[in-house]
Amino acid sequence: MNDTQAATEGSLPLAVRSLVGGLLMGLANLVPGISGGTMLLAAGIYPQIIEGIAEVTTLRFHRRSLLVLSCVIGAALVAIVAFAGPIRNLVVHHRWVMYSLFIGLTLGGVPVVWSLIGRRTGATWIGALCGFCCMAALAWVQTSGLGEDTGDQQGFVLFLIAGAAGASAMILPGVSGGYLLLVLGTYVPILSAIDHFKELLKNSGQNADWSPVIEIILPVGIGVVVGVVVVSNILRLVLARYEKATLGVLLGLLIGAVVGLWPYQQGHEPQVGEVFRGRVVTADHLEKIREKPHRYPTQTFAPSSGQVVGAIGLVMIGFAATAAIARFGSGRGQRGA
């Protein structure tokens, strides 16, 4: 009886912390640079999430784990659906501002992984180099335009991969799933599709356009399930057997992430006669393109002195924010419930 009462009394604060952690994780997945795993650490429920995923994916269902997972997943979905549109608009219309903030948020995760590594070994540095090279390669893919969504079968596979990558990054402190989506060229399209889906739910009609849901949200959703069920368990196994090398890879991923976040770039409106997504732009086509500025190709520009100073300030703010959240949760995440 005493054990039952204790479990009941402890379920409320655990549920509240799970809801808070889910909201933070959902927002983190929308913002490149912030790690969902770091947010779970800040809420003090990271060990419970890892344990819950391990139990559910091996078909072991315990009330405590189901409570944590349901609260976290539900709150994260609410945050993602509610804020996808506003954050997408900020990235599209204030790119250099948001990218500067993203750089700081990304680098703020470096101390998290650095503290997890502890004593560095040769395997740590080799892993860090491999991780850095991977992110540099992803940045090249992004800038070369190879990561743009096409809406065809290739786009479906890309969004499937993006969903799996984003989901697997959720459980690793310091690794940003939103950034992985950004360098894969799927970040803005996914946020736009989520915002479109929200509008469909608010204003359902017979002539509603469900193509973004089918072409983007569906493969991303499948990828998320694959990432959580398969990739997360693989990563847990690798961390257990090759901890130093794996944490080195995570460190390299974080540092290399900055390569693809050069802040001084902006969307470029295609002009008549130019080739846009494999098609020559006409006057009629241009009008349709202008309806979706989030699909504009990006180009770099020379910043003003004010923009340089502003970018440095935003980087410092972002770094301090992530570092503060990680420091706040470092003790609570280890104490468990």
314-330 average pLDDT score: 77
Name the average pLDDT for the chain: 77
**167-204: pLDDT as tens digits:** 776 766 667 777 778 777 788 788 888 888 887 777 76
Assess whether pLDDT exceeds 90 at residue 126: yes
**E-assigned strands of the chain?**
265-267, 275-276, 279-280, 298-300
% of the chain residues with pLDDT over 90? 7
Neighbours of 118 (CB within 10 A): 11
Q: What pLDDT is attached to residue 305?
A: 92
Amino acid found at 27: L
308-313 average pLDDT score: 94
Cα dihedral 296, 133, 160, 260 in deg (nearest 10)? -20
For residue 113, which of 129, 123, 124 has the smallest C-alpha distance? 124
Place of tokens 């504009």: 296
**73-94: pLDDT as tens digits:** 899 889 888 888 888 788 778 8
pLDDT band (50, 70, 90) for residue 295: low
Assess whether pLDDT exceeds 80 at residue 314: yes
pLDDT band (50, 70, 90) for residue 317: very high
Amino acid found at 11: S
Residue 317 C-alpha from the chain's centroid: 19
pTM over 0.85, yes/no: no
Higher-scoring residue by pLDDT: 284, 103: 103
Assess whether pLDDT exceeds 90 at residue 242: no
Assess whether pLDDT exceeds 80 at residue 221: yes
Q: Are strands 265-267 and 298-300 parallel, antiparallel or unpaired?
A: antiparallel
Q: What pLDDT is attached to residue 149?
A: 44
Q: Which of 146-160, 193-207, 215-229, 275-289 shows the lowest mean pLDDT across its residues?
A: 146-160
Q: What pLDDT is attached to residue 125?
A: 94
pLDDT band (50, 70, 90) for residue 1: very low
